[in-house]
Amino acid sequence: MTRFLALPLILAAAAVPALAQDTSPAQLRSGYEAESGAAADPAAGKAFFLAEHSGGKPETPSCVTCHTSDPRAAGQARTGKTIEPLAPAANPERLTDSAKVEKWFGRNCNSVLGRDCTAAEKANIVAWLASF
Amino acid sequence: MSRPTPVSYVPAWDIWVRLFHWALVLGVGAAALTGFLGDARWTLVHVASGLTATGLVLARIVWGVFGPTHARFADFLPRPGAVIAHLSGRDRRHRGHNPLGALMVLALFAAILALAGTGLAGLGGWLRIGPLAADLGTDTGRMALDLHGGVALGVLALVALHVGGVVFESRREGENLARAMVTGRKQARPGDAPVAPARARGGLALGLVAGLGAALGLGGATLSARPAPNLPVAVTDPLTAQECGACHMVYHPSLLPAASWSDLMAGLDAHFGENAWIDAGDAAEIEAWLTAHAAETVDTAPARLFVRTDPAAPATLTETPAWERLHDDLPDGLFARAPIFTRANCAACHADAATGRFSPFAIEIPKETPK
């Protein structure tokens, strides 16, 4: 059922300029689950987040390069700028703006992996971040 | 009982002449030290000591008209004939400045006033601040600063000559002239050149100095308050602030030439080692704003310096020859430590980085913090 509800949501998000606070971690998770056709696996999300990857830019081999291994803690960009925590438990603004989520998945998956993340990978990460 | 001394001492230098002299030594000394040896962070001390020296010279000029006997220009301004007579040793002993000493006084005053003029022109034209900021640009400012450095070398030479002259004349006359500038008293000897005693008009001189100071202060403030042309755009485009500022300090558009900005915006998917891709519409809007306010559109020192980029890295501010030259005396590892982290974090040390001004008065290297 969620699949049929979430798809139009994603399409709508892509078609019109997204408004801030237009989504929630649960909505994002179900949207990505619907897109991938599989249930999210928070443990796989954690492993993916903590892993060292190849194929991306040498400066950023892993998500933890900038975000640290604790999503409840602030990270730091290579520019010195603080990155607010990723876990909604520590930073309620996280995962509430679909355009922002897509923009940063787009950028950071390419920096770390050298490719876009799949919907399943995004679902797993969102599920893990929301589990705190 | 000691034998009665055959020489008698009389007042030569009044207290204001002496205070002026030694305060000028301090002011010129501080300005010279900071100017020749200090880095950009010493600019405030340099300007303050230079202005102090200038104020002292102006006050001394007033005192040269209304001060007591030997303070007065009338007492020591020499005719050419007197200089020649002094050089050939045919003149009588001068209890005040001798003709060569008088020429040194005039030369030092002229040079210090020239330093003030070229310094203010440098502040106005190169840093675009102060009373001349509205009138001068970076071309004039840079010329003025070159001239300032040349005149300053001249002052060093004059000071060396002055000290040499004092030592020479002290030995020749058998009287310590430097000590006389401390005690204010000099020997009175038979056959000294005649002295025309003059009474100091202290109240008048004080009033004139206060009035001159107020007029210069007010005039300077009024001139400084005029809006200066061709300065960096003051308001940052909100989209640029949001998108660029999401990851790093918002670099002012005047810090790079338009071609560099276009180059940078065309390569956001490989942006200094990261993917910084944004929506094409947003990218076009940001690029339009950046290029409209790029280095070519303003007249500031940073824009003039950084407009010459490294051809191999046209969008990398920290690879420009000027950036490297300006930072090459900083210790290795300074940039990597917290809270600076990277050469690209201008705002860590330059409080006014976001304005594109990079005033030397706004530099403070932060203390290291735990990462």
Show me where the domains of chain A are located. 2-130
Q: Is residue B367 part of a domain?
A: no
Burial A60-71 (b: 16+ CB within 10 A, else e): bbbbbbbbbeeb
pLDDT category, B3, cuts 50, 70, 90? low
Q: What is the pLDDT of residues B281-337, one digit of tens each?
A: 999 999 999 999 999 999 999 999 999 999 999 999 999 999 999 999 999 899 999
Name every chain B residue with its beta carbon within 8 A of the beta carbon of A57. 270, 273-275
Range of the domain at B350: 238-362
Q: Given B178, B202, B224, which residue is the final one in a domain?
A: B224
DSSP string spanning B9-55?
EEE-S-HHHHHHHHHHHHHHHHHHHHHHH--GGGHHHHHHHHHHHHH
pLDDT of residue B71: 98
Q: A100 - beta bridge partners? A: none
Of A59, A76, A106, the CB nearest to B273: A59
% helix, strand, coil for chain B, step of 5? 60, 5, 35
Residue A27 Cα to chain centre, angstroms? 13
Q: What is the pLDDT of residue B255?
A: 98
Q: Tell me, yes or no, whether B320 and B206 share the same domain.
A: no
- Nearest alpha-carbon partner for B347 in B334, B358, B331: B358
Cα–Cα distance for residue pair B115/B32, rounded to 1 Å: 11
Structural contact between residues A80 and B339, judged by C-beta atoms closer than 8 angstroms: yes
- B185 and B282 in a single domain? The answer is no
* Residues on chain B touching A117 (C-beta within 8 angstroms): none
Share of chain B above pLDDT 90, in %: 95
Does the residue B3 lie in any domain? no
Chain A touched by B336 (CB under 8 Å): no
| Domain limit, last residue, from B189, B224, B259 | B224
Confidence at residue B10, expressed as pLDDT on a 0 to 100 scale: 95
CATH of domain A2-130: 1.10.760.10
pLDDT, average across residues A68-91: 94
For residue B101, what pLDDT is reported? 96
Out of B273, B279, B339, the one facing A80 most closely (by C-beta) is B339
- Residue A54 to residues A51, A85, A114, A115, B277, Cα–Cα distance (Å): 10, 24, 8, 10, 20
- Of B167, B193, B224, which residue sits at a domain end? B224
Residue B147 binned pLDDT confidence (cut-offs 50, 70, 90): very high
Task: Report pLDDT for B98.
Answer: 95
Same structural domain for residues B196 and B132? yes
Tell me whether residue B279 is in a domain: yes
Judge whether B368 is closer than 8 Å to chain A, CB to CB: no
Chain A contact present for B282, CB below 8 A: no
Shared domain check, B305 and B192: no
pLDDT, position A10: 47
Spatial neighbors of B281 by CB under 8 A, at least 6 apart, are none
pLDDT band at residue B271 using 50, 70 and 90 as cut-offs: very high
pLDDT tier, A16 (very low <50, low <70, confident <90, very high otherwise): very low
What average pLDDT does the segment B184-192 reach? 95
Cβ atoms of A112 and A18 closer than 8 Å: no
What domain count does chain B have?
2
Parallel, antiparallel or unpaired: strands A82-83 and B185-188: unpaired
Query: Which residue from B41, B223, B49, B55 is spatially nearest to B129, judged by alpha carbons?
Result: B223
B271 and B142 belong to one structural domain? no
Which among A58, A78, A110 is the nearest to B275, CB-wise? A110
Whether B269 is covered by a domain: the verdict is yes
Same domain, yes or no: B166 and B255? no
- From chain B, pick out residues whose CB is under 8 angstroms from the CB of A80: 248, 339-342, 345, 348
Average pLDDT over residues A71-89: 94
pLDDT band for position B359 (cuts 50, 70, 90): very high
ipTM of the modeled complex? 0.77
What CATH number is given to the structural domain containing B171? 1.20.950.20
B167 in any annotated domain: yes
Pair B107, B42 in one domain:
yes
Which of B242, B247, B268, B275 should be substituted to probe chain A, the one whose Cβ sees the most A Cβ atoms within 10 Å?
A: B275
> Could you tell me if B246 and B150 lie in one domain?
no
- What is chain A's alpha carbon radius of gyration, rounded to the nearest angstrom? 14
